Amino acid sequence: MKPILMSSIKNQDKTTDTRLIGEEPMEYTQPKEIGAEGEELVHIDASFEPLIPKFLTNRKKEVVTMQAALAAQDYETVRTVAHGMKGAGGSYGFDRITDMAAVVEQAAKTGDASTIERDLPALGSYLDRVKVVYE
């Protein structure tokens, strides 16, 4: 068995592509899907439905935590919370959360307060308007 790198890309048909170590990394992007009322839609496996409300509530709390940490110039807290959010978002399939948390994490590493100030409200706004479609 070769070591496996599951660094893969959701394609249009939502399958996953497995790459082995040594191949070139590929970009990952999740296209926005907008609902009838302008909300952003995320498709989630229906079996995870009981977990989603708590997941979203905890992410909103984390935004508040990061805002407080930013006000105290506690970049390490911002970084660690954003790092956790980045992983949790990906695990659940909320790739926009992952993308935005990654930007905040990177900004916290360099003490870039202006980027964090700009992106945390955007992250909070996304959490408020995202709509989950269970399938």
Partner 1 sequence: MNTTVLVVEDEQDTAELLKQLLEREGFSVLHAGDGRQARTLIDTIRPPSLVLLDMVIPYVSGFELLRVIRRHPDWQLTPIIMLSADDYEPDIQQALREGATAYVTKQKGSAGLLQAVKRVLPATPPQDQIVAQAGSAAPPTRRVSVQHRLRGNQRKKRAA
Residues that bind partner 1 (CB under 8 A): 1-8, 10, 14-16, 18, 21-22, 25, 28, 45, 47-48, 51, 54-55, 58, 83-84, 86-88, 90-93, 95, 98
- Give the span between the Cα atoms of 52 and 63, in whole angstroms: 17
Give the alpha-carbon dihedral of 95, 100, 103, 107, to 10 degrees: -150
Query: Could you give the angle at which helices 52-71 and 75-92 cross, rounded to 10 degrees?
Result: 160
User: Which residue is it, tokens 């996953």?
Assistant: 16
Task: Enumerate residues 6+ apart whose C-beta is below 8 A from 25.
Answer: 7
Concatenating the DSSP letter of every residue in 50-81 gives GGHHHHHHHHHHHHHHHHHHHHTT-HHHHHHH
Residue closer to partner 1, measured from CB, 48 or 71: 48
Question: Shortest Cβ distance from residue 50 to partner 1 (Å)?
Answer: 8
Residue closer to partner 1, measured from CB, 39 or 90: 90
Residue closer to partner 1, measured from CB, 24 or 37: 24
